Amino acid sequence: MTESPSVTHDLTIEVPIPSWARPILRDRVRVLAVLMGLVSLGWQGYLLSRSYFHKDDFRIITWSAENGLDLDFLFRSNHGQLMPGGLGLTWLLTRLEPYNWNLHMGALLLMQGAAYVAVYVLLRRLFGARRAILLPFGLYVFAPVVITDLLWYSAGKSSVPVQLAMAGALAAHVSFLRSGRRRHAVAALAWIVFGLLFYLKVLLLPLVLAAVTILYGSLIAKPRFKVFAAWWYWLAQAALMGGYVALYTLLGIAKGSYVPIGTDHPIGPVAYTVRVLAENFVPSATGGPLRWQTGVGWANADPPALVVWAACVIALAAIVVSVRYRRHAARAWGLLLGWVIFVDAGLTWVARASEMSGWEPRYTADAFPLLAVCAGLAFLPLAGEAVPYRRQLPEPPVRGFAIGLVAGVFVIGSAASTVAYLPWLMVDDHVAYMANARAALRTAPPGTDIYPRPLPPAIQHEQPDRSELTSRALAPIAPPALAARMRDPRPSAHPVVVGDDGKLTPMTLFGGLLVSKTCYPSYAIPLKTAGGPDVFGAVNYEAAAAVVATATVGGERIKLPLTAGSGTIYFPIRHDTTSMAISAPGVSVCVNAVAAGAPVPVRR
């Protein structure tokens, strides 16, 4: 007799929902919001995995590797920006492991996820736990500008904290309006401080808080808490603003701006504002721009004309419909437009307007938490609001169709726009270069002399502080001894440079060789150069015996190890000079050719 109890009974598998999970799952709105956030973060994570370090990233990582976590480093001007938070974050990530893209990716995703949570909390606080808040929430988490802004570390690490600080401060402010509790006020102030650590735009966040209070204060809080009576709250904000301006001015941060701050720009303020609004913000707020063009980061928006028109029509329709049905909707749109026009367009125009910058997603991404809030204010009733609408709303099918239509356009448009961004992430050369450089530096024989030259221009262009030189930008991934020698190169008979593929390659000096038929007089060898971190000299010599000669170049004395017979030796020239001298006591040395210039790879 065979017994098989496993077939005689039906198998029922029960997956018990643990008691702690039940209340979580019961909150449908939260579950859906989390799902939406995760979908967006997953897509952003995939896109980030296809991105890499680019341009300015190399400068701040180089700085982070070269400096301790001191005030001089944290409060320096990064192209006109004060960003102790961003520099501190980069410093931390660089300390963990220099140029580890996964670390930067993780940090960006964490910040973005935090911003999603903050916007969700804000919406829920304003409008209550209704499913409708998922619509403005979706407007934020699926906005193509928000998604693509994250893909360049330098942009994301400044812009995402602004989004986070804005939502956080607004949420705390709303609670303060309702409760009057001091801890909410302190939280709002803390969010402002947090944001100021990352980006100057947060300077204007107190104005948003004040505007929300004036425009919607009595609707948000009933009975109305006299928030303006909390003078210390507003005074603290004013103090933060004033303090920031003073610090910014005293430190001379503005001087570092790569575009002079002012009103002299290649594009006028009106044209620039129209571009920011109609060809950047509004298209992205409706799922565009569908097409991208070359930009300072990876890519800028390039919406086709029909997309611009369609987006403006949709935006206008949203405004008209909301104003027709929802009380006070115009205020919300005024607040949003005020931020986009005066902060995203106006401030950026004054600071760094170029022909291209109006199309840059990173300059409008911070408006999207506000868009979520204002779209909510323009359509949804505030929690506890008695008479939100002016008139009978259209029948549910009409409403449902309209909402579905806009959502369909937005979501499919967003998917298409972000997919269209993928080809612009041209990282293959960057990744190969850094991988090769990492391997080459790790396996370089001891005593290798790597002379500096710029990173390939597609990866980083020339910087005022020459941080794009391999001696500085690549030193963080070299073993310590080699890194020290890269930063402080010595005279060498066989120096090498990092080639455009990231591999070590023999070098020569760019420019000609000055050859003499006889020996140059050793006390006056003609050598005219301005000197600099990537300027090197070379001499051809005949030495009777091996000797360490002393060269005097640009007021600096350098020891040159010469071998017996004929040879070439390279040496750094840091300062300007018109001639050099060589002395080799007791040994006859004949210098018959001399050169000065920048190291370049020898074509093999």
Partner 1 sequence: MGSTRHSTANTAAPGFEIRIPGWFRKDYVRLAAFALIAASLVWKGSLFARGYFFGDDFNFVARASEQGFGFDYLTSSYGPKLLPVGFAVAWVVTRLGVYDWTLAWAALLALQAATSFAVYRMLRTIFGARAGIVLPLAFYLFTPLTLPGLLWWAAGLESVPLQLAIALALTSHVLWVRTGRLPHAVAACCWLVLGFASYFLKAAVAIPLLALLVTLAYEGGRPALRHAVPLWTAYAAVFIPCAVLYAARADTSDQPVVVPPLDDSLLFLGRLLGRTYPSVAVGGPGGWLGGLADPTALVQVVAVALLLGFALFTIVRRPGAWRAWAILVAYLVLVDYLPVLLGRGTFELQALEPRYLADAALATALCAAFATLTDTGERAAIGRLAPVVGLLTGAFLVASFLSGETYAGGFEAQRVKAETYMNTARATLAALPPTTDLYPQRLPTDVLVYAGVGEANLSTHILSPLAPPALRERMRHPRPSATPKMLDPQGRLTGFHVCCGYIVPDQGTRCFPASGGAITIAFGSSGDPEVGGFHYLDGVAGTATVQVGDVAFDVPIGAGDGSAYFPLEEKGSALVVKPNPPLTQLCVNAAVLGAAGPSS
User: Can you tell me which of 295, 413, 489, 601 binds partner 1, judged by CB under 8 A?
Assistant: 413
Q: Which stretch binds partner 1 (CB under 8 A): 46-54, 287-295, 360-368, 570-578?
A: 287-295
Min CB(593)–partner 1 separation in Å? 49
How far apart CA 248 and CA 242 sit, in angstroms, is 10
Q: Which residues pair with 568 in a beta bridge?
A: 540
Q: Are 185 and 169 in contact (CB under 8 A)?
A: no
Residues of this chain, 571-590, that bind partner 1 according to CB under 8 A: none
Q: At 547, which helix (H) or strand (E)?
A: strand 547-553
SS3 12: coil
Q: HSE of 354 in the Cβ direction (CA atoms, 13 Å)? A: 12
Q: Which stretch binds partner 1 (CB under 8 A): 43-51, 187-195, 300-308, 573-581?
A: 300-308
- Encoded one letter per residue, x for contact with partner 1 by CB under 8 A and - for no contact, window 365-394 reads -------------------------xx---
Min CB(224)–partner 1 separation in Å? 19
- 352: tokens are 């760094």
306 binds partner 1 (CB under 8 A): yes
Q: Which stretch binds partner 1 (CB under 8 A): 293-301, 306-314, 435-443, 586-594?
A: 306-314
User: Can you tell me which of 99, 410, 451, 520 binds partner 1, judged by CB under 8 A?
Assistant: 410
Judge if the upstream peptide bond of residue 489 is cis by omega within 30 degrees of 0.
no
Q: Closer to partner 1 by CB, 188 or 329: give it.
A: 329
Min CB(186)–partner 1 separation in Å? 34
305 binds partner 1 (CB under 8 A): yes
Distances (CA, A) of 30 to 98, 131, 554: 37, 9, 69
Q: Closer to partner 1 by CB, 251 or 409: give it.
A: 409
Q: Which stretch binds partner 1 (CB under 8 A): 140-148, 303-311, 551-559, 588-596?
A: 303-311
How far apart CA 245 and CA 59 sit, in angstroms, is 25
409 binds partner 1 (CB under 8 A): yes
User: Can you tell me which of 407, 514, 519, 581 binds partner 1, judged by CB under 8 A?
Assistant: 407
Distances (CA, A) of 427 to 50, 101, 150, 159: 7, 12, 15, 22
Long-range contacts, stretch 456-462, CB < 8 angstroms, 24+ apart: 456/429, 456/500, 458/426, 458/429, 458/430, 459/54, 459/55, 459/58, 459/429, 459/430, 459/433, 460/55, 460/56, 460/58, 460/59, 461/55
328 binds partner 1 (CB under 8 A): yes
Beta-strand pair 599-601/565-572: unpaired
Amino acid identity, position 121: V
- 402: tokens are 């309209």
Q: Closer to partner 1 by CB, 195 or 413: give it.
A: 413
* Per-residue DSSP letter, 255: G
Q: Closer to partner 1 by CB, 46 or 309: give it.
A: 309
Min CB(390)–partner 1 separation in Å? 6
Distances (CA, A) of 20 to 13, 24, 124, 268: 20, 7, 22, 58
Q: Are 218 and 384 in contact (CB under 8 A)?
A: no
Q: Closer to partner 1 by CB, 291 or 574: give it.
A: 291
398 binds partner 1 (CB under 8 A): yes
DSSP per position, 431-486: HHHHHHHHHHHHHPPTT--B---BPPTTT----TT-TTBHHHHTGGGS-HHHHHHH
Nearest to 450 by CA among 490, 480, 477, 479: 490
How far apart CA 326 and CA 388 sit, in angstroms, is 6
3-state helix, strand, coil in the chain (%, to 5): 55, 15, 30
User: Can you tell me which of 86, 138, 283, 287 binds partner 1, judged by CB under 8 A?
Assistant: 287
Min CB(412)–partner 1 separation in Å? 4
215 binds partner 1 (CB under 8 A): no
316 binds partner 1 (CB under 8 A): no
User: Can you tell me which of 5, 16, 223, 397 binds partner 1, judged by CB under 8 A?
Assistant: 397
Non-local CB neighbours of 501 within 8 Å, separated by 6+ positions? 432, 433, 436
User: Can you tell me which of 384, 404, 464, 565 binds partner 1, judged by CB under 8 A?
Assistant: 404
Residues of this chain, 25-84, that bind partner 1 according to CB under 8 A: none
Q: Which stretch binds partner 1 (CB under 8 A): 118-126, 322-330, 367-375, 467-475?
A: 322-330
Nearest to 351 by CA among 185, 200, 158: 200
Min CB(104)–partner 1 separation in Å? 32
182 binds partner 1 (CB under 8 A): no
Min CB(270)–partner 1 separation in Å? 17
Min CB(134)–partner 1 separation in Å? 12
- Applying CB under 8 A, what is the total number of residues that bind partner 1? 36
User: Can you tell me which of 323, 514, 581, 587 binds partner 1, judged by CB under 8 A?
Assistant: 323
304 binds partner 1 (CB under 8 A): yes
399 binds partner 1 (CB under 8 A): yes
130 binds partner 1 (CB under 8 A): no
230 binds partner 1 (CB under 8 A): no
Q: At 139, which helix (H) or strand (E)?
A: helix 134-141
Q: Closer to partner 1 by CB, 260 or 304: give it.
A: 304
* Per-residue DSSP letter, 104: H
Q: At 525, which helix (H) or strand (E)?
A: strand 525-529
190 binds partner 1 (CB under 8 A): no
Min CB(306)–partner 1 separation in Å? 6
Q: Closer to partner 1 by CB, 239 or 398: give it.
A: 398
Min CB(322)–partner 1 separation in Å? 10
Q: Which stretches of the chain bind partner 1, using CB under 8 A?
A: 287, 290-291, 304-307, 309, 323-324, 327-331, 390-391, 396-413, 416
